[in-house]
Amino acid sequence: MIDIVRTVDELRGRVGDWRAQGFRVGLVPTMGALHAGHLSLAERSMQLTDRTVATLFINPKQFGEGEDLESYPRDEASDGEKLRAAGVHLLFAPSVEEMYPDGFMTGVIVGGLGDVLEGTYRPGFFDGVATVVSKLLNQAAADRAFFGEKDYQQLLVIRHMARDLDIPTVIEGVATVRETDGLALSSRNVYLSAEERSAASVLYKTISEVALKVRAGADILNLESWGRDQVLAAGFASVDYLSVRDAFSLEPFTDVSGPGRVLTAAKLGRARLIDNVPV
């Protein structure tokens, strides 16, 4: 069994003991339903620090009306076993009451980066993410915290929030882990039927081809439109966005000499899949 603590006080006690021994501490925030993507975050943390805490908290503030808060996959025992096997030292799994006690009334908002793309389609999502992550960072006081590039906009929002609020933890991005056909690992892939699962890899193939063609100098608006058509033709019900953006500001990609990013979100059956690749 992995060691589990459920209160902020216990977490601080454990991290404080490690600090007193001179250990560097890594934090891996998750909502559970762990897959190899999460475990790659933990592996990176174990490379760069001496002690790794994973957190398991399904944050109600980052689910909107009609989203999948109730049905989000939950299996703490299995998650704990995966983390233990990976060598993670501690699991912090607080209750909703521990994180948001009665009278909780503070929010952290990231304007600009949080308002576009996912922010347009999931109002309040990044406010919920920024709020819970600022709490987790302050609770754990880790040296480094690890987030997947799969949620690329989220990574940028968190990095900016931590910088703006002077939270001293270094935010580390970790490359997306993919199935052999290219589909990005996601806890929500379990929502896909067999047929949908086989169509799903078109998302990654399409944005990869868009990235290649942007590098080759093709017209971006035409490419975005072509990409959306490809995804719809594969059986996706809708494409929220498929867009080439500046890799730091997420503004439209006009300075093609700088780094860009192709980002997409699209609906397939019960699932809403997101993915992104560098340009």
Instruction: Name the one range near a second copy by CB under 8 A: 127-135, 146-154, 173-181, 213-221.
Output: 127-135
Which two three-digit tokens encode residue 225? Answer: 């439109």
Residue closer to a second copy by CB (options 12, 188) is: 12
Handedness of CA 32, 266, 148, 114 (dihedral sign): negative
Give bridge partners of residue 16 from the DSSP assignment: none
**DSSP summary character for residue 54:** E
Structure tokens at 157: 């929002």
Residue 142 in contact with a second copy, rule: CB under 8 A: no
Stretch that binds a second copy, among 65-73, 112-120, 212-220, 252-260 (CB under 8 A): 112-120
C-alpha span between 236 and 13 (Å, rounded)? 48
Q: Does 111 bind a second copy (CB under 8 A)?
A: yes
**CB-wise, 236 or 253, nearer to a second copy?**
253
Q: Does residue number 97 form part of the binding site for a second copy (CB under 8 A)?
A: no
Sole window of 82-90, 161-169, 214-222, 230-238 interacting with a second copy (rule: CB under 8 A) = 161-169
- Nearer to a second copy among residue 165 and residue 233 (C-beta): 165
Strands 238-246 and 260-268: antiparallel
Q: Is 139 in the site for a second copy (CB under 8 A)?
A: yes
| Segment contacting a second copy by CB under 8 A, of 17-25, 29-37, 164-172, 230-238 | 164-172
Using the rule CB under 8 A, is 194 a contact of a second copy?
no
Q: Please tell me whether residue 12 binds a second copy under the rule CB under 8 A.
A: yes
Give the residue with the Cβ less far from a second copy, 122 or 135: 135
Separation between Cα atoms, residue 29 and residue 32, nearest integer Å: 9
Q: Does 8 bind a second copy (CB under 8 A)?
A: yes
103 lies in the binding site for a second copy (CB under 8 A) = yes
Query: Closest Cα to residue 93, out of 190, 8, 164, 186?
Result: 8
User: Tokens 């001496």 label which residue?
Assistant: 50
Tell me if 28 sits within 8 A of 146, measured CB to CB. Answer: yes
Contact 187, 35 (CB under 8 A): yes
Tell how far CA 237 is from the center of its chain: 23
What's the closest the beta carbon of residue 107 comes to a second copy, in angstroms?
A: 5
Asked whether 266 and 183 are in contact (CB, 8 A), the reply is no
- Based on CB atoms, which residue is closest to a second copy, 24 or 84? 24
109 binds a second copy (CB under 8 A): yes
Site membership for a second copy, residue 106 (CB under 8 A): yes
Q: Is 165 in the site for a second copy (CB under 8 A)?
A: yes
Q: In angstroms, give the least distance from the CB of 156 to a second copy.
A: 11
Catalytic (active site) residue 38? yes
Does 168 interact with a second copy (rule: CB under 8 A)? yes
Three-state DSSP class for 148?
strand
Q: Cα–Cα distance between 189 and 269 in angstroms, integer?
A: 11
Are 81 and 56 spatial neighbours (Cβ–Cβ below 8 Å)?
no
Residues labelled catalytic: 38
Residues that bind a second copy (CB under 8 A): 8, 12, 103-114, 130-131, 134-135, 138-139, 141, 160-161, 164-168
